[in-house]
Amino acid sequence: MDASRFKDAPVLEVISLASTGASPLLAGISGSPSVAIGVPALVAMLVASFLCGSVPFALLLGRLRGIDIRTVGSGNIGATNLGRALGRRWGVACFVLDAFKGAAPVAAFGLWRGIWGIPLADAPSSATTEWLAVAVAAILGHVFSPWVGFRGGKGVATGFGALVALWPLLTWPLLGALLAWAILLAATRLMAVASIVAACAPPAVLLIQSLQADRPAAATPLLVATLIIAALVMIRHRSNLARILAGTEPRIGTPDPESERGPDAGRNPPPNR
């Protein structure tokens, strides 16, 4: 790059010339989805996403009110259990925070790679796969949080935030998931049923879309990622499924018998397992 081009040039023009001349270097770092970022950079992004998703907001919010959420109700470190223990406002606050910690690293990576907002048909498959891996890493961070002995929440709120941030790749599948969640929750008042069906809706919608598309293989990374997320949600809800079959799963709007342990419930940490 010729430095004489900058002589007596206005500041904005200098910035423009410098960014143009440096674009081959920056293309491998950010803003160019067609260029691979390299394994070390991708691993660093995956670790950062995992750590972001691992923040146990339900535990932290519970401690603000003097309880250990792991010893209350179902013991799950998530928005539903926190809402049953402390009230709906706390549950909603936890859901928003958990969704945000899933969305933040995914949106940041999408913007950094220059893929955010690009339709699937126009997005390079390698960048799309990297983006999906970052989303799954955030959800895994929530489900297997290292700050609580790798025993985290069930991944619904964090998964929702991560998938929302994958805009516009999963817009229609997510709308289908929201519709399924709302219908099932209203019909059954069982959060576990609504969450499991909502988690299974995106891969189902993607499968239908791929069968009707001109390039069905383009949706394969999305289908695989959403199937992994749905499997995680289902596995994490196995205790809920057992209680549903036994008829003991508490419904929304009714007290959880397990949470009624007297005034000292949740005040002590859980025993070592």
Tokens of 137: 């890493």
d(CA 96, CA 149): 23
Q: Three-state SS string across 17-39, please?
A: HHHHHHHHHHCCCCCCCCCCCCH
What are the pLDDT tens digits along the chain (273 aa)? 454 543 444 433 433 433 343 333 333 445 567 677 889 999 999 999 999 999 999 999 999 999 999 999 889 999 999 999 999 999 999 999 999 999 999 999 999 999 999 988 788 889 999 999 999 999 999 999 999 999 899 999 999 999 999 999 888 888 889 999 999 999 999 999 999 999 999 999 888 888 877 667 778 899 999 999 999 999 999 999 999 999 999 888 776 555 444 334 444 444 433
Output the pTM of the full model: 0.78
Residue 253 sits at the vertex; the CA angle it makes with 248 and 256, to the nearest 5 degrees, is 40
Residues 85, 259 contacting (CB under 8 angstroms): yes
Element (H, E) at 136: helix 125-143
Residue 18 has what pLDDT? 37
d(CA 201, CA 23): 41
Q: Where are the domains of the chain?
A: 37-259
Residues 232, 139 contacting (CB under 8 angstroms): yes
8 by Cβ neighbours in 10 Å (0-12 / 13-18 / 19+) ranks as exposed
- Of 35, 31, 19, 27, nearest in space to 1 by CA: 19
Phi, psi of 94 (to 5 degrees): -65, -40
d(CA 156, CA 153): 8
Residue 153 has what pLDDT? 94
Residues 106, 131 contacting (CB under 8 angstroms): yes
Phi, psi of 155 (to 5 degrees): 85, 5
Residue 104 sits at the vertex; the CA angle it makes with 98 and 106, to the nearest 5 degrees, is 110
